[in-house]
Structure 1
C-alpha cells in the first residue's frame, strides 16, 4: 500500500476513534443526568420521610444595616385599618388641638398626614421612619381619650386613680385642647363591646415596650398609650390576635429601632431564626420587649456590626 493510501486509512481511523469517544461521552452525560435526577428524587423522598435532613440556606450576614431593612423597612409597614372619622373625633373631643398639631408638624412632609385629622381616611395606616413621630402622638391621643376598661379597671384607673396626672402618658400630653386628666377614658371614639374590651385587655397585657417594664395594659407612657389605641382600633375592626401582635411589633420597631434590630440579631445568631420567622407575640413579651428583658439580652450579645445608638422619648 502506498503512502497516500496509508495516510487516508490513518485519518479514517482517527476520525472513527473520535466519533466513538464522542458517542461514549454523550451516553455517559445522559446517564449521569438521569442518575442525578434519580438521586434528587430519592433525596426529596428521603427528606419527606425524615431519613435525610436538608441543608438550610445560609442566613444573610447580620450587620446593622441588613437587619434594619428587615426590621424597619424603608417602604414602611401598612395596617389596612379604616381610619374613617377617628381623627376628626379626636379634634372634636379636645384630645387633639388642631392648631397645636399644625404648629408642631409644620414641615411640609406632614401635610398629607394632617389630613388624617380633617378628612375621612380609609386607605390604611403606613408607619415608616419619617412619620413614626406623628403616629406615636396621634395614637397616644386615641389611647388616652378612648373609653376603656384598661384605663378604668386596670392598674392606672384603680391603684393610681389619685395620681393620674403624674404619669408620662398624662402629664406629657400637651397637644390637646383639654387637660389630659380630663381627657382620660372620656369619649367613645370607638364603639367597643364588652367582649371586645376583654380582648383589648388580654392582648394589651402581653405587649411590652423597652422604655419600661410595664405592659400596654399599664400605659403609663406615650408608647404604651399609643399601642393601646392601635389595639383598640384593630380589635374593633375584627383583626385577629396574630395580626394585632404583628402590627404592634412593627410600630414598636419604628419607635425603638435599636432595640428590635438588636433582637433580630439575637434571634438570627442565637436561635437561627430570621426576623420574618419570629413569633410577634413572643418578641413583645416581657422576656424580650420589657426594659429589663431587653437589657439582659443586650448584655449577653454586646454590639452588632455597624451598630448605631438611638433612643426614643416618652414626651410629645
Structure 2
C-alpha cells in the first residue's frame, strides 16, 4: 500500500516537473521573441533616421545645384548696358503714351514712382540697367514704346493680317492701360527711331527669331506685352547699330528676367544633356524650339516637380 502511494506521488511530481519545464521553455521562447522584436524596432528607428538624414542632405545638395544653375541664367548683380536711352522716357510721357501715375501704380500699387527708375523718365541720357527690381518697369515702358513707335511690323505684319486689319483687341493693344488715352490712340503713331531700309530688314529678321514662352508667336507678331516690349528693345538696339549677336544676348537677358522659371528649366534641360547653358548661343535659346510656348512645354515636362529656390514670380501678359 505504501509502495503504491509512493509511486503515485512520484508520478504526480514527475508530471508537475514536466509541466514546469514546458512553461519554462515557453517563457524562454516569449522572452526571445520579445527581445528580437525590440531589437528590430530599434534598428528600424535607426534606419528611418538615416533615411531622413540622407533625404535632407540630398535636398540641400539639390537646392545648391539649382542655385548654381539660376546664377548662370540671371546674374545676382543685374546688367548694365551701353545702350543709350536718351530722352525716350520723357517723350513717351509728353506724348501721353506713358501716364506716370498709372505706371507707378502698376509697379508699386501707389502713385509714387520708385526712385531708381524715375531717372529714365526725366529726359536725362541714362544707360540702361536691368535687374530683378526694375524688370517690370522695363517691361511696361518698352511695351509702350513698341506700341507707339511707327513700324511696318505693326502696320503690315501679323498684327494686321491676323486681325482683319483691326489689331485693337490683342493683349498688347486692348490690354494696354498705361497711357493717358486708349492704346489705339498711340498705335504706330510716332517715330521714335529712324531706321533705314537695311535696319528695318534687320529688325524684322531678329524679331522673327525671338520667341516668348507665354505664347507661340515670335516678336514679329507682338500680340502681347512681352512681344511688344521686345520689339521696342530690338528697334532701339538696331537704331544704335548693335550687332546681331549683341542684340540676341541682350534680348535673352530681358526674357530671362521676364520669364525666370522658363530659362531656369531650359538651363536644367541642357545640364541633363551635359551641356553648359552659358555656352549655348542666345539665338538658339530664344528660338521657337526652346522659347516658344510649344517648345517650352516640352522642356517643362523634364523639369516637372523641381522647386527653384530663388524663384519669386512668373511672367504674365499684363501691366
Tell me which interval the TM-score lies in, with the shorter structure as reference length: 0.7 to 0.9
- Structure 1 unaligned runs (5+)? 1-59
Aligned to 1:241: 244
- Structure 2 unaligned runs (5+)? 1-61
Conserved 8 A contact 2:252-2:282: yes
Q: Provide the alpha-carbon RMSD of the alignment.
A: 2.1
Equivalent in 279, 282, 287 of residue 281 of structure 2: 279
Conserved 8 A contact 1:62-1:265: no
Partner secondary structure for residue 249 of structure 1: helix
Conserved 8 A contact 1:90-1:189: no
Q: Deviations over 1:213-246 (max 9, x none)?
A: 0000000000000000000000000100011011
* Superposition map of 1:103-142 within 5 A: 103-105=105-107, 110-122=114-126, 124-142=127-145
Conserved 8 A contact 1:132-1:254: yes
Conserved 8 A contact 1:258-1:309: no
Measure how far apart 1:280 and its partner are. 0.4
Which has more radius of gyration? 2
Aligned to 2:51: none
Partner secondary structure for residue 130 of structure 1: coil
Measure how far apart 1:181 and its partner are. 1.2
Measure how far apart 1:160 and its partner are. 1.6
* C-alpha separation in 2, matches of 1:89 and 1:167: 25
* C-alpha separation in 1, matches of 2:232 and 2:220: 11
Q: Deviations over 1:130-184 (max 9, x none)?
A: 1111010011011000111111111102332543111110111111112111211
Conserved 8 A contact 1:213-1:292: yes
Partner secondary structure for residue 80 of structure 2: strand
> Could you say if the C-alpha distance between residues 81 and 258 of structure 1 is closer, same or farther in structure 2, counting changes exceeding 3 Å?
same
* C-alpha separation in 2, matches of 1:205 and 1:186: 22
Measure how far apart 1:306 and its partner are. 4.4
* C-alpha separation in 2, matches of 1:127 and 1:161: 37
Aligned to 2:295: 293
Q: What is the TM-score with the length of structure 1 in the denominator? A: 0.76
Measure how far apart 1:104 and its partner are. 3.8
Conserved 8 A contact 2:211-2:287: yes
> Could you say if the C-alpha distance between residues 88 and 304 of structure 1 is closer, same or farther in structure 2, counting changes exceeding 3 Å?
same
